[in-house]
Amino acid sequence: MKAAVFVGAGRPLAIQQIDVPRPGPGQLLVRVKRCGVCGSDLHLTEAHAAWQVPHGTVLGHEFAGEIVELGEGTSDIWREGDRVAALPYVGCGRCRECLNGYPFHCPETLSLATGDLIGAFSEYAVIGARETARVSEHLSWEQAAFTEPVAVGIRAVACAGITLGARVLIVGAGPIGLSAAACAKLSGAGAVVVCARTDRHADRAVAMGATEFLLNDADLRRNFIRHAGGPPEIVIECAGVPGMLDLCCDLAEKRGRVVIAGGCNGKDPLNVLTPLCKELTFRFAVCYTIREFALAERLIASARINPMPMYDGEVSLHQLPARFEELRRNKDACKLMVNLDA
C-alpha cells in the first residue's frame, strides 16, 4: 500500500510502498477514506521540536474509513464494510485505564499518532475493536473524520465543568478551540468567546457556536466584559504557544478555572502570583475517553455540532507532502484532509 512516510526533519514526507498491516486479536483493518492533517503532525516533524517522532513514522490520527478485515474475536460486533472512526490508540483492554475507557493512559497503549502503529496517511490502518465508533450512514467521510478533533473539544469542555449561563473564554481559533466553542455552547454556557491574535478564523468561530469572536489584543479584557457582563469564569487554552498561561490567568475571574488543552511543545513560564491571588483552579485535558469519542460522532450525526466550517478541502496522498510543508508557513488553513480514494 502507499503511505506518506516521515523521512527526517526539513525533508518533505515521502510517498512509499509499504506492507499492509495485519489485524491481531481484538483488532480491525480499515481502508482509510479521509484523514485530517493536525497541527501536532506538523509539530512532531519540526526540526527543533522538543519531541519528534522517529524516522519511518507514518502519521495521521484524525480518520474515518471502512472495515475490510476482522481480527480474531471481533466478529460479534463488527462486520466487513462497516463505516467507522477510531481512536488512534489501541490499549491492552485489561488495565484500569482501559477498563475506564481511557486507552491513552494505558501503559501498553499503541499509538497511531506517534508511530507505534502505522497512521492514517496511508491506505490501510489497524485499529482496536474496543476503540472504534460506528459512523452513521448519513455522514460524509469528511464529517466522519472530524470525530477525533471534536472529541478533543468534548474532553476540554468536560474538564471545564461548565454550568448554565457560564462566561467562557476560549484562547485559540484552531480546530481544537473551535470544537471546544461548539461544545461549550451545547453545555449551556451563556457567553462563549473565542479569541485569537488575528481575525482570520472569526467567521468560523461564530459558525461553530461562539457568541462572539474577539482579537487577542490590549482590549481583550474590556471587550470580553462588555460582551459577557463580567470576566470569564472559565478559560480554555487551545493555542498551545508560550505566553498563554499568563494570559489565561490574567483574564480569568477570581476562583475561576483554567483548562489547558493546547499542546505547547516546550516550556511556558507562569507568573505564579496571579493564579495564587485569584485562587484559580488549573486543569489539564488530553485526548478523550472512548465514550467521549463516540459522543463526538453522535453530536455530528445528529447535527448538534456542524464541524464543516473548519473544513478547508482535500488533497490526494500524492499531493500531501507538498501541502504539508506549505501548512507549516500558511496559518490561514484550519483543517485540510487527505482523500485516500483520490
> Using the rule CB under 5 A, which residue among 7, 9, 42, 92 binds Zn ion?
92
Residues 303-328 as b or e (16 or more Cβ within 10 Å = b): eebebebbbeebbebeebbebbbebe
Residue 37 or 166: the one with the smaller Cβ distance to Zn ion is 37
- State yes or no: residue 160 binds Zn ion (CB under 5 A): no
CB 81 within 8 A of CB 67: yes
Q: How far is the CB of 39 from Zn ion (least distance, A)?
A: 7
* Residue corresponding to grid cell 459522543: 295
- State yes or no: residue 95 binds Zn ion (CB under 5 A): yes
Distance CA 63, CA 149 (A): 10
Residue 95 or 186: the one with the smaller Cβ distance to Zn ion is 95
Pairing of strands 257-260, 281-284: parallel
Ramachandran assignment for 51, one of left (phi > 0), alpha (psi -120 to 50 degrees), beta (any other): beta
Q: How far is the CB of 108 from Zn ion (least distance, A)?
A: 6
φ, ψ of residue 38 to 5 degrees: the values are -110, 150
In this chain, which stretch among 83-91, 132-140, 161-169, 181-189 interacts with Zn ion, using CB under 5 A?
A: 83-91
The H or E element containing residue 244 is helix 244-251
> Using the rule CB under 5 A, which residue among 91, 128, 177, 321 binds Zn ion?
91
Task: Count residues binding Zn ion (CB under 5 A).
Answer: 6
Residue 63 or 124: the one with the smaller Cβ distance to Zn ion is 63
- State yes or no: residue 178 binds Zn ion (CB under 5 A): no
Residue 157 or 251: the one with the smaller Cβ distance to Zn ion is 157
- State yes or no: residue 88 binds Zn ion (CB under 5 A): no
CB 279 within 8 A of CB 302: no
First to last CA, the chain: 14
In this chain, which stretch among 9-17, 102-110, 182-190, 305-313 interacts with Zn ion, using CB under 5 A?
A: 102-110
Q: How far is the CB of 38 from Zn ion (least distance, A)?
A: 3
Helix and strand numbers, DSSP H then E, in the chain = 11, 17
Residue 91 or 177: the one with the smaller Cβ distance to Zn ion is 91
In this chain, which stretch among 21-29, 90-98, 126-134, 201-209 interacts with Zn ion, using CB under 5 A?
A: 90-98
Q: How far is the CB of 43 from Zn ion (least distance, A)?
A: 10
Residue 107 or 188: the one with the smaller Cβ distance to Zn ion is 107
Q: How far is the CB of 160 from Zn ion (least distance, A)?
A: 19
Residue 94 or 138: the one with the smaller Cβ distance to Zn ion is 94
Q: How far apart, in Å, are the Cα atoms of 291 and each of 42, 152, 155, 240?
A: 27, 12, 10, 25
Q: How far is the CB of 283 from Zn ion (least distance, A)?
A: 20
In this chain, which stretch among 30-38, 50-58, 236-244, 287-295 interacts with Zn ion, using CB under 5 A?
A: 30-38
Residue 163 or 330: the one with the smaller Cβ distance to Zn ion is 330
Name the grid cell of 26.
481484538
Distance CA 171, CA 324 (A): 25
- CA 9, 13, 14, 16 dihedral sign is positive
- State yes or no: residue 98 binds Zn ion (CB under 5 A): yes
Ramachandran assignment for 115, one of left (phi > 0), alpha (psi -120 to 50 degrees), beta (any other): left
Residue 85, C-beta contacts closer than 8 angstroms, at least 6 positions apart: 63, 64, 132, 133, 135, 144, 145, 147, 148, 293, 297
Q: How far is the CB of 94 from Zn ion (least distance, A)?
A: 6
DSSP helix/strand/coil, 260:
strand
Residue 102 or 213: the one with the smaller Cβ distance to Zn ion is 102
> Using the rule CB under 5 A, which residue among 37, 70, 106, 158 binds Zn ion?
106
> Using the rule CB under 5 A, which residue among 38, 144, 236, 296 binds Zn ion?
38
Contact residues for Zn ion, defined by CB under 5 A: 38, 91-92, 95, 98, 106
